[in-house]
Chain A
Amino acid sequence: VDVFFAGEFGIAEGDFALTAEGCVSGDISGSVQVTPSGLVRGTLDGLPISLRLNASGDVMITALLDDDIQEFIVAVKRPADAVTADFEGVWNFVDLGSPTDLTKSYYNSMTQMNRQAPSDSFAGANEQFVDTFFRGAFYAESGSATVASDGSFTGFASGTMTTTANGTAALVIGEGPETFYLNASKNLMIRVKREDGDINEQRITVIVKAPPSLSIADLAGPWRFSNMETPNRLVEVYFNHTTGQTRNSIDSSDFAGRTGQTESLVDMFFPGDFGVGGGGVGIGTDGSLAASFSGGECGRQHRRLDHVDKRRREL
């Protein structure tokens, strides 16, 4: 038995110019239009896309299901200029990371030793595939930092946040700098990063600037959301040749034969669902949530191992 991901983990980023006529050129190209309900729809790199736009017209989001992948996209309109003092204030962030590969473990019946290898490996002579697990960890972190006018900040960590060319932000926390991309309103930044090798992770970070003050009534109005959901572990199924029974792995360190009896790895599955979703909700002045508004496109799709829809779609 062998296992592999149907698609690949990955990150992508780039620049594009959007004209008042809706022409898109740069690292992606195509054309878009704005719908009466405020969605940005069109064709980019030959594929249909539907993006959700924020009120100031400088952030777009979407989540996609493709053949064997799911993708979460954020785009920001770049500011005409920015200075370090623009960062002054309280910023809140979320950082979402996942491993990008599996490790396989093979048991050699001759040497009675286990061998661990990357996901593209195969069992050798006298080897039995007994275990697989994510190489690296899933994580979701959040926090806040207060930035001074000179760019120094304290909070979840101490460091500096300064402007660089083209309105980007350079964050230095011990090491770095890390480049974040700022929107035109200068209240949101994005970053994606991938590290292979020993670290083996990819992450997306979104940072938003907190308003100086906020009341529930300030949130009133139509809102749109996009989300992406990914299971954070695999469950393995082992067949016991003595008892004729199967059992599920209890954690990522479990493997076929751990019971001391002869077992074979016969199946594996994700205990959670993959999925992307999105839609629109209305928030009342009292904070109540209203039903989806016109053009909200509420939708959600989940799948496990089996899916047959070959058409790229936006939900």
Chain B
Amino acid sequence: MIRKILSGPGAALLASLVISSTAFAADLSMLAGDWRFASVTNPSAVRESYYNSNTMQTRQSVNSSDFAKAGE
């Protein structure tokens, strides 16, 4: 079974792949052979960089609640 969801603004893009399980019958000889893999990778975060015009230094955000402070 395969499923996809692209929900409304602000929400998430969700992909789900469901497969029937071998339960308890699989062994390695069953899997032996040639395989092909495919994957997609997304970054899981953004970083913000702030320049402080007073100190002339830059710093990176430490978490999602970090934001530009005075002088930045």
Binding site for B on A (CB under 8 A): 1-22, 27-28, 32-34, 36-38, 40, 52-55, 57, 59, 61, 65, 68-78, 92-96, 98, 138-142, 166, 181, 184, 190-192, 202-204, 206, 208, 221-235, 237, 239, 251, 264, 266-275, 280, 303-307
Say whether B39 contacts A71, CB under 8 Å. Answer: yes
Q: Which residues of chain B from 1 to 58 have a CB within 8 Å of any chain A CB? A: 1-7, 9-51, 58
For the A-B complex with A5-B47, A21-B28, A305-B46 known, give 20 more contacts whose Cβ atoms are closer than 8 Å. Answer: A2-B58, A4-B47, A13-B36, A15-B37, A17-B35, A19-B28, A20-B28, A34-B27, A38-B23, A73-B38, A74-B37, A75-B38, A94-B3, A166-B34, A227-B15, A228-B14, A229-B15, A230-B13, A231-B10, A304-B45
Partner among A32, A181, A264 whose Cβ is within 8 Å of the Cβ of B36: A181
Say whether B63 contacts A306, CB under 8 Å. Answer: yes
Interchain CA distance A150-B56 in the complex, whole Å: 68
Contact residues in B for A78 (Cβ distance below 8 Å): 33-36
Say whether B22 contacts A225, CB under 8 Å. Answer: no
Say whether A77 contacts B4, CB under 8 Å. Answer: no
Q: A6-B46, A34-B26, A142-B4 are in contact. Are A13 and B39 (CB under 8 A)?
A: yes
Q: A184-B33, A280-B21, A304-B64 are in contact. Are A2 and B49 (CB under 8 A)?
A: yes
**Does more than half of chain A's interface fall in helix, strand or loop, or is it mixed?**
strand
Say whether B35 contacts A268, CB under 8 Å. Answer: no
Interchain CA distance A234-B48 in the complex, whole Å: 13
Partner among A55, A77, A269, A272 whose Cβ is within 8 Å of the Cβ of B12: A272
Name the residue among B17, B32, B44, B68 with the largest chain A CB count within 10 angstroms: B44
Say whether A268 contacts B48, CB under 8 Å. Answer: yes
Residue of B with least CB distance to A228: B15
Name the residue among A34, A138, A234 with the largest chain B CB count within 10 angstroms: A34
- Contact-residue bracket for chain B: 35 or more
Contact residues in A for B68 (Cβ distance below 8 Å): 1, 239, 264, 266-267
Q: A34-B26, A267-B68, A305-B61 are in contact. Are A272 and B19 (CB under 8 A)?
A: no
Residue of A with least CB distance to B68: A266
Contact residues in A for B32 (Cβ distance below 8 Å): 18-20
Say whether A20 contacts B6, CB under 8 Å. Answer: no
Interchain CA distance A139-B31 in the complex, whole Å: 34
Say whether B11 contacts A10, CB under 8 Å. Answer: no
Interchain CA distance A165-B10 in the complex, whole Å: 43
Residue of B with least CB distance to A224: B21
Say whether A227 contacts B17, CB under 8 Å. Answer: yes
Partner among B34, B38, B64 whose Cβ is within 8 Å of the Cβ of A12: B38
Contact residues in B for A181 (Cβ distance below 8 Å): 36, 38
Say whether B13 contacts A305, CB under 8 Å. Answer: no
Say whether B30 contacts A57, CB under 8 Å. Answer: yes
Q: Distance (Å) between the CB of A145 and the closest chain B CB?
A: 15
Residue of B with least CB distance to A296: B21
Q: Distance (Å) between the CB of B63 and the closest chain A CB?
A: 3
Say whether A221 contacts B49, CB under 8 Å. Answer: no
> Per-residue CB proximity of B56-72 to A under 8 Å, as 1/0?
00100111111110001
Say whether B22 contacts A274, CB under 8 Å. Answer: no
